[in-house]
Amino acid sequence: MSHAENLIRMGLHPSQIVLGYEEALKKCLETLNTIESYRVEDLRNEEQVARALRSTVSSKLPQYGDFFSTLIAKACINSLPDTTYKFDIDNVRVVQILGSSVNDSTFMSGMVVKRNVEGSVESMAKPRIACYSCPLDTQYCETKGTVLIKNADELLNYTKGE
């Protein structure tokens, strides 16, 4: 918009500026369709997916681009359904554990619930069995919402759905 303001001050009519922007958009779309730096042939190949992710991850974490692109690729490939290639970002979770460093990051298949210790055993090397004496739930919801219940039937149906 600041560039458009400068063009108006130079004496161009706003309709001419809009036409110029539309022409620039057409040219950009034509050029973008011809540019391809890398193509992922197999969406289940960890190396190919990690290579495709590397530039995006490296722009945010330059020192750890290779490391995190591999972890992210593993998580994304693991969450792909067997029959279709529709990726759902909600199937990938990130949990931060206090006291750990970036180099301690790892990929885990399954469900991770972050919760404080409620017993006397705080850690165990190479555990084989996990015993829970409390409900397995999260400390807080990821999303907040309001439900308006008008009668008892709606309450019963809501609890069945949840």
Reported as a pLDDT band with limits 50, 70 and 90, residue 142 is: low
- Using the predicted structure, report yes or no on whether residue 162 has a pLDDT greater than 60: no
Q: What is the largest CA-CA distance in the chain?
A: 77
pLDDT of residue 3: 82
At residue 47's C-alpha, the angle toward residues 33 and 31, to 5°, is 10
* Nearest-angstrom CA–CA distance, 99 and 85: 36
The pLDDT value recorded for residue 49 is 93
Overall residue count recorded for the chain in this entry = 162
- Token digits of residue 29: 């779309």
pLDDT for 105-138, tens place per residue? 888 887 777 777 667 777 778 877 766 666 666 6
What is the pLDDT averaged over residues 43-47? 91
State mean pLDDT over 85-94.
82
Stretch 81-98: mean pLDDT: 81
Give the list of residues 6+ apart from residue 70 with CB closer than 8 angstroms, or none.
46, 50
Q: What's the mean per-residue pLDDT of the chain?
A: 82
pLDDT category of residue 64 using cuts at 50, 70 and 90: very high
Amino acid 63 reads: Q
- Position 27 confidence tier, pLDDT thresholds 50, 70, 90: very high
Q: With beta carbons less than 8 A apart as the criterion, state whether 70 and 46 touch.
A: yes
Alpha helices by DSSP H, the chain: 2-9, 14-34, 46-60, 65-79, 152-161
